[in-house]
Structure 1
């Protein structure tokens, strides 16, 4: 959702093109999850953990440098993902522990889950704050009872998703540290993609049925 227009009786929300956002998301997934995980897996059992972690850090740096050199944009999602990945890898490298590399996102997901669910429980869904950074909507719409209810529902979905992510990551470790190390990013990414899809479908369905709100495709 990228823009809006108020009328005397309704709010018209214009929906942006999905395909460019989908392509951008896939590209970030490949650059910050798929390739680093393959590099780590390939080097973990050949050259060792240290070289694998160095390869992850080096790859993230290379992606950012090449994007900058070629004049491509550096989206905030890419910078955040690359920064978190480099931080995890650097800490694991300093401590020489693959377990640290795996457990950091587990605790992060659990903390996010509690934060999402807690904010929904007290009636101040954190998704509203995040939405302001990505969605252009009139300020009064964030106080619309139906919209706030929708944001609360989406916040609960994300909270449950993050708790499931933490539990899934711990479950993968029962198959071995190496298995959890290389499979967690893919399963976590799939869970996040599923959560985004569920939230988007639920939001569109709810908005279509909401009195006083009209959806419109943005003109090409």
Structure 2
């Protein structure tokens, strides 16, 4: 009887080394560019600088025919929403609200990807880990990615909801401090759960027979 190929999830340190450059470029760098430009050029100049950085990164990959990481796609969605709202209002409160609205938009993308049977967590995972096609087609793996994508949609919604409440009811200083700690805690627990669940799924694959190909 044929069995699924055994896939071992790399150590967390190895995953972190693989993920760090892409997260740095697609998430952290645009934020750093934004704040640096904000101090020199003001809000609208900062928005232009951040948008330019993200879109330039995508354009460079398209020209070189290099796959665009899922984290960068999410950054494009978020920065587009933030830039449109920033130019439209020019409000400081709306400025802090923008990333939260972007997070809500991304959570909707996560939900839609499950509905379309293309769970976004699967694409993000494949940016960092190679999985054989036989593994990706396994029902247990497909179900895992769908459920984890739903989990992360919920996590993003919770993070944004808590952040918006803090923004509207607390001082900016309190908002920044409490939001950072809360989002880090919730996201950290979700990452830990996701990794443990993924290891558990991969550990069981060798016990499942490969479905016979259809005639």
Which of the five TM-score ranges fits, normalised by the shorter chain?
Answer: 0.5 to 0.7
Q: Give the direction of change, closer, same or farther, for the CA distance of 1:210–1:28 in structure 2 (3 Å limit).
A: closer
Question: For 2:10 and 2:66, how far apart are their aligned partners in 1?
Answer: 18
Residue 151 (structure 1) shift: 4.3
Deviates more, 1:53-62 or 1:8-17: 8-17
Residue 80 (structure 1) shift: 0.9
Give the corresponding residue for 2:199. Answer: 204
Give the corresponding residue for 1:11. Answer: 4
Give the corresponding residue for 1:59. Answer: 53
Give the corresponding residue for 1:30. Answer: 24
The structure with the largest helix share of the pair is 2
Give the corresponding residue for 1:108. Answer: 105
Alignment of 1:1-220 (within 5 A): 8-15=1-8, 22-44=16-38, 47-64=41-58, 73-77=66-70, 79-95=72-88, 96-97=90-91, 99=94, 101-112=98-109, 127=119, 131=122, 134=126, 135-138=131-134, 142-143=138-139, 146-147=140-141, 150-151=144-145, 153-174=147-168, 175-176=170-171, 195-209=190-204, 212-213=207-208
Residue 115 (structure 1) shift: 5.2
- Is 1:102–1:180's contact at 8 Å kept on the other side of the alignment? no
Structure 2 unmatched runs, 5+: 210-215
The structure with the largest strand share of the pair is 1
RMSD: 4.5
- Is 2:74–2:106's contact at 8 Å kept on the other side of the alignment? no
- Is 1:158–1:195's contact at 8 Å kept on the other side of the alignment? yes
Structure 1 unmatched runs, 5+: 1-7, 215-220
Q: Name the count of aligned residue pairs.
A: 198
- The C-alpha deviation readout for 1:39-87, integer Å capped at 9, x for no partner, is 3334445542112212212322454566678x69453325413422441
Deviates more, 1:183-192 or 1:89-98: 183-192
Q: Give the direction of change, closer, same or farther, for the CA distance of 1:207–1:25 in structure 2 (3 Å limit).
A: closer
Question: For 2:108 and 2:83, how far apart are their aligned partners in 1?
Answer: 21
Q: Give the direction of change, closer, same or farther, for the CA distance of 1:24–1:141 in structure 2 (3 Å limit).
A: closer
Deviates more, 1:147-156 or 1:173-182: 173-182
Q: Give the direction of change, closer, same or farther, for the CA distance of 1:186–1:202 in structure 2 (3 Å limit).
A: same
